[in-house]
Chains A and B, each alone.
Chain A
Amino acid sequence: MNAAPDPAAPPSHPAHRGFSPSRIAAIARNTLTELIRLKVFYFLLLFALLIIGNSAFMLRFSFQEEFQVLKDVSLGAMSIFTSLLAIVATAMLLPKDVEDRTLYTILAKPVPRFEYLAGKLGGVLVLLFIATLLMSVLFVAVLFIREKWVIAEILREAGGTPNEQALEMIANVKKSAFSGALVPGIAIIYLKACLLSALTLFVSTFASSSIFTIIVVVAVYFVGHLQATAREYWLAAGANVSWITKGFLAMVSLIFPDLQMFNLVDDIVAGNDIALGLFLRTSGLGLLYVGVYLLAAHFIFSAKEL
């Protein structure tokens, strides 16, 4: 027999959990749904057009040049597209939640502010992963199709029976098309986008609008790419460098991420392998930046009055 519930009796609640990966996962999943339903993946069509168009345009090159340019353009485009997606997708998340008052309803639930931020960032990072994966699949597919096409061309010119020279050419084609450096190179492109996303989240915790956030992060993006060059130029002056310049450079290095370190495209295009040490160092640095920016965002957001 079921006992009639006492309407005045307080309902039983599970004990509050100070930190819950499930809550973060719920917010991340919702953020991913939001971004997908906002149709942000449309930019992939642009990427597809770019590399397919680029591939058709390169028919006039030798196959080595063709694969070099294809990899250069594709990886460069992948880097720019993921960076842009990271900045734009993240910049609108917090202001939109404030504008729609959704932030209030979420934080009025037993959700710590850190988990809210971590969930939002998590959603964008999953989106970036999917975007990077789709672009990589598209890029590899175009590379594969071009490789098969060039090999077929070599075989046709050899009259169907490949001689030693043709076999050597085929081996060269395979070497030019795919290299082991592609996977770590793409992983670093993804990490750079993660870093930019965390940086954007940090800026959006104190920025007044999405536009302001985007402008600030794009400025940081350029400074981050140029600072290594500027540092090398100034330090090359040797003894003439004043302590003020050195201090300024150190400050810039601390505040702005050195994004040039995440640019391994040149090595990949040149056919060089990426050393494991360099990959691990760069990955570690990227993850460190993500962690530091997330903590800095939490520091400001937890003190923010909504």
Chain B
Amino acid sequence: MKYVDEFRDGDLAKNIARKISLEANTNHTYRLMEFCGGHTHAISRYGIADLLPANVRMIHGPGCPVCVLPIGRVDQAIRLATEQGVILCTYADTMRVPASNDLTLMRARADGADVRMIYSTQDALKIARMNPEREVVFFAIGFETTTPPTAVAIRQAAAEGLKNFSILCNHVLTPAAMHAILNVAGGVKLDGFVGPAHVSTVIGSQPYEVFAGDYHKPVVIAGFEPLDVMQSILMLVRQINDGRAAVENEFTRAVTREGNRKAQALVGEVFELRETFEWRGLGTVPDSALRLRQKYTAFDAEQRFGVKYIPVSDNKACECGAILRGEKRPWECRIFGTVCTPQTPVGSCMVSSEGACAAHYTYGRFREEIQ
């Protein structure tokens, strides 16, 4: 795979690893957060932690749309499918997320709900066109990367006069979540961020400048391939050593400062800010999500079917909040690996394989077992 395999080369990885070890100051512990689940996945899947010196510590952030989706939102989707009898279209990622009453979309489907896994919003439109007598709802989740495809679908549906299509909108915003992490009372022990790859192709590098400026945290935007991640870690170590805090871009092959203006304009035309939105693990975050603009409310499933959002609190023993902020490590949670496993996730970090806890359980468990 061109532009993929070159960025997974083991020999080059060793070179970068050597550089990181040489340059990392042994008197300092570098606490770096990779915001995105995609980076968490790369770090776990390629065993990148083994190539880093012990004083460079990666903290897995909340950038996994499935993990931060509150239980109450999945409940809404399930209610749409079971009580309203709609065809619920979803990315496969949400199928196993535990909701209330021991339900998941997978179990709802087993109980007879019409839940369909799709690859693209285009597939959801196709299903709506083919089933004019049925209501079709797309369970729209994801960050800035996944939002523009939803915007395109809404515009298309409006242009076609597709009356039986709507969305359950859960699109969320990356910078808002980074603010939430940095605004924790008592401060947060983070030296810098590995910035999102594909989110940044859309929003550009400019929105992160505030974190370098106001919070004095270096940000290096990195691709999702393992060499990208390693290079961005080296770049962060250098900034920290120099006492600098800037936004740097390792993923120049796909990210510019402005981002994708066409996609941004489409999103701006279809969506507007929600004053507040609940994130699993982070709580209620102001201005952190999107809803459909007035002219498109006909496509809002929450309004069309009157399915209200009912918050559901997380298990008290769950330490997801502290883990997402980098204050605790997965195995420091009392229920990690016992009550809470990928098979029976209790907290958000265990829900998807990109969550901090699930990634550690699935890929890195041997590390503390061996200690």
Chain A complexes with chain B: no
